[in-house]
Amino acid sequence: MANDISVIALSSHPALAGEICAHLGVKPAATEIIRFGNENILFQCQENVRESDVFVIQTSCPPLSDHIMELLIAIDALKHASARRITAVLPYFPYARSDKKDRPRISITARLMADLLETAGADRVLTMNLHSPQVAGFFRIPVDQLNATPIVCNELRSTSELGDSVLVASDVGEAKDLEDYANRLGAPIAIIDKRRPDDSENAKAVGLIGDVAGRNALLVDDEITSGGTMIAAAQFLLEQGAQRIEAAAVHPVLSGHAYERLADSPIERLVVTNTIPTPSGQRMEWISTVSVAKLFADAIYAIHSGESVSRLFV
Spell out the alpha helix ranges (H) of 186-268. Answer: 228-239, 258-263
Residue 54 β-bridge partners:
6, 86
Spell out the alpha helix ranges (H) of the chain. Answer: 14-24, 64-80, 109-120, 149-159, 175-185, 228-239, 258-263, 293-305
Contact by Cβ (8 Å): 286, 272:
no
Residue 96 CA to residue 104 CA, distance in Å, equals: 19
Residue 138 CA to residue 133 CA, distance in Å, equals: 10
Catalytic residue among 27, 100, 101, 194: 194
Is 204 designated active site? no
End-to-end CA distance of the chain: 33
Contact by Cβ (8 Å): 128, 148:
yes
Which residues neighbour 172 within 8 Å (Cβ) at sequence distance 6 or greater?
Answer: 191, 193
Q: Assign 225 to helix, strand or coil.
A: coil
Length of the chain: 314
Which residues carry out catalysis? 194
